[in-house]
Structure 1
Amino acid sequence: MRTGASRPAWVARLGLLLVAGIITVVVVRLIGRVDWAEVWAALKLLTWWHPLVLLVVLLVRQVLNALPLALYIPGISPYQATLNDQAAILMASLAPPPSDLALRLSIFGSWGVPTVKALAGTVMNTLTFYVVRFAAPIGGFVLLGLLGRAPGPRWLELLSIAISLAILVGVLLVVRSEQVALAVGGRAGRAARRVRRSVDPEAWARSCAEFRSEIVVRFRRGFPQSLVALVGMLAVDLTLLVLCLRFVGLDSSEVALAEIAVAYLFAYPFTIFPFSGIGVVDALVLAGLVEAAGSEVEAAGVAGLVVWRVFTVGGPVLLGLGALAVWRRGASASAAASGPQLRP
């Protein structure tokens, strides 16, 4: 039986899926009809070593994506952060929130990390990722300027950048002082109470102050390094997309690297939709490729995006299964070693 807390999460998730579906249908209709025979012909260009290269790039991407956890949580190595992150991605794919958070905290707890520190680091990791996610179009605008192209309707992406700046300012204000943290938490609680009467603004204020006290020590170094790690993750993810497109026959003479980067960076904020925005992000990237190079690249573009999604959506789930198995084996071994032993 579902709890009352999980029902709003499911409603929001279904709502996002519905919006994503509508956007995908609209964009695909604007692009035109896809020739699936040509898509299949492009997929046949893949050779045995291509998946191996893509797997290595994916592993680098996942390590960079998890690295902020190691920067924010004391005593956690990059390996442990990656293990934790992969297991949480798996859980988020299979069950509604906050199941992934519960698993994260359980794994951190098994490694001796206090819950309050693990929770603060996890929240800070999420906030940092959101700053980078919604700031991605900045790179797209820079590239458009270098290419000498007008942004067109992409000026709407300024809203995404504004969201990134709002999160950044909010984080900096909370970290600045305890009084500011209490004020920000209280105001956020009062705003939330208008939607849900059970919210206690005072509890939100205390939680915000507690979050600040846990994160402030590692923030000065951890935050800038985490931003660099996540920007690096975007670069590696873009590399993965470019390789997928090149491997199915879409070479640089048809679509330049800069054009692919523009399409990717403007579409990336839509990864906020379930399953990394599958469908809507792909449609927007494909629209960007067709805008830059014409309808001739459509079939190869679809083929490359299919391969990209196999690795970026399916790959982390499989890695999560492995990470969960490794953690459980380690937890069982630790429990056996610390259990009562019979004396001769």
Structure 2
Amino acid sequence: MSTPESSDVSTAHPGRGAWITRIVLLVVAVLSSVTIVRLVGQVDWEAAWDALTHLSWWHPVVLLAVVLVRQILLAMPLRFFIRGVTFYRATINDLGATLMSLIAPPPSDIALRVSMFKSWGVSPAKGLAGTVMNSLTFYIARFSAPLLGFVLLLAVGESPSLRWLELLSIAVAVGILVTVLMVVRSDRLARTVGTRAGLIVRRFRRAVDPDRWADACQSFRADIAERFHSGFPLAVLSQVGMMVVDLVTLTLCLRFVGVSANEVGFVWIGIAYLFAFPFTVFPLWGIGIVDALILAALVEAGGREIEAAAVAGLIVWRVFTVGLPVLLGAVAVAAWRREIAVAGTSRPS
């Protein structure tokens, strides 16, 4: 949820703190991925390049279609939480925000979202509340992913080993879920959550006013409560569906470059993906660290002989799941601008 102090901070130093955080996380991701790749072994980049030559002309067409489904599912919570936002509008809103978050400092993505909402007749307060719930729902799904990973490990009879540490991720998901349920349950609980959160944050930032945080939580509840009970279950399902489609995309990328089902089965790809997915919290969907973790798990399952092809598959996966949404974001913004231009010319002067 946005805080009362956020507007003051952004006015004084627009986006500086957020960009510093992103840079620090990106550095951590790079260092972590380098460490993990060294543990896996030296990558044969020439062999990885040869694996990329396995791609046929129709492979990108299939991946484009699958990624489009992924992006629609990713944006679906906006449709469930905000009245007046269709699936199409939710998708272009989310794609546009993805583009802005990469090319301009925060909160440019929020500014674009609000502009879109206003052009569709949605109040900024309702739009922002739906955007917050969109993010919270995704975070719950993101940090719950290892739970499905444990289920797959149980199904194949494999020991979790160091993966028990992923219980911390599941605990984070439970914490977010409990907090959201408390906020939407009643005004009293919403104010209690806001006040306590403000008191905790004030230990690190003396300017924080817990009463204003309580007001913000109460206002958030008022804006989201109407559609929460019907929208939240559907929103969670859409995010689980998004992860399934993302996993299918990864599997297709690996198969297209020569990693066969006999070498690494779908279940093992799923285990690698689900335990790495919480690390998409790092910038650019955890590019680097997530790939290194998946690569390590794939090599463990299929042997060193699949390493080069796995690297090639991960490269293709990142091109389509990180690079393509940015290009689609540019198309989405152009489509929205054309929409408001047409709407403007159709109105009487």
TM-score normalised to the size of structure 1? 0.97
* Residue 261 (structure 2) aligns with: 252
* Residue 4 (structure 2) aligns with: none
User: Would you say 1:218 and 2:227 are equivalent positions?
Assistant: yes
User: Would you say 1:22 and 2:8 are equivalent positions?
Assistant: no
Q: Which of the residues 271, 276, 291 maps onto 2:280?
A: 271
Matches of 1:163 and 1:331, distance apart in 2: 40
1:338: how far off?
2.6
* Residue 6 (structure 1) aligns with: 15
1:339: how far off?
5.3
* Residue 239 (structure 1) aligns with: 248
Matches of 1:6 and 1:92, distance apart in 2: 11
Which amino acid letter does the alignment assign opposite residue 298 of structure 1? E
1:332: how far off?
1.5
* Residue 54 (structure 1) aligns with: 63
User: Would you say 1:316 and 2:325 are equivalent positions?
Assistant: yes
User: Would you say 1:206 and 2:215 are equivalent positions?
Assistant: yes
Matches of 2:12 and 2:303, distance apart in 1: 50
User: Would you say 1:177 and 2:173 are equivalent positions?
Assistant: no
SS in 1 for 2:261: coil
Deviations 1:208-259 (A, max 9, x none): 0011111111111100000001100000000000000000010100000000
Deviations 1:169-190 (A, max 9, x none): 0001111110000010111112
Matches of 1:249 and 1:172, distance apart in 2: 46
1:198: how far off?
2.2
**Unmatched 5+ residue regions in structure 1?**
none
* Corresponding pairs, count: 340
Q: How does 1:83-94 map to 2 (within 5 A)?
A: 83-94=92-103
Percent identity (aligned)? 57
Q: How does 1:88-127 map to 2 (within 5 A)?
A: 88-127=97-136
Matches of 1:282 and 1:311, distance apart in 2: 14
1:4: how far off?
1.8
SS in 1 for 2:105: coil
Root-mean-square deviation over aligned CA pairs: 1.2
* Residue 163 (structure 2) aligns with: 154
Relative distance call for 1:2 and 1:174 in structure 2 (3 A) is closer
* Residue 128 (structure 1) aligns with: 137
Deviation above 6 Å: which 4+ runs of structure 1? none
Matches of 2:121 and 2:205, distance apart in 1: 35
Matches of 1:74 and 1:196, distance apart in 2: 36
Matches of 1:2 and 1:68, distance apart in 2: 29
Matches of 2:12 and 2:188, distance apart in 1: 35
Deviations 1:142-197 (A, max 9, x none): 10111111111111111100000000000011111100000101111121222222
Q: Is the 8 Å Cα contact of residues 140 and 177 (structure 2) preserved in structure 1?
A: yes
User: Would you say 1:291 and 2:285 are equivalent positions?
Assistant: no
Q: Which of the residues 319, 332, 340 maps onto 1:331?
A: 340
Relative distance call for 1:209 and 1:2 in structure 2 (3 A) is closer
1:3: how far off?
4.2
Q: Is the 8 Å Cα contact of residues 52 and 257 (structure 2) preserved in structure 1?
A: yes
1:337: how far off?
2.4
Matches of 1:218 and 1:89, distance apart in 2: 25
Which amino acid letter does the alignment assign opposite residue 4 of structure 1? H
Structure 1 range deviating more: 94-103 or 1-10: 1-10
* Residue 51 (structure 2) aligns with: 42
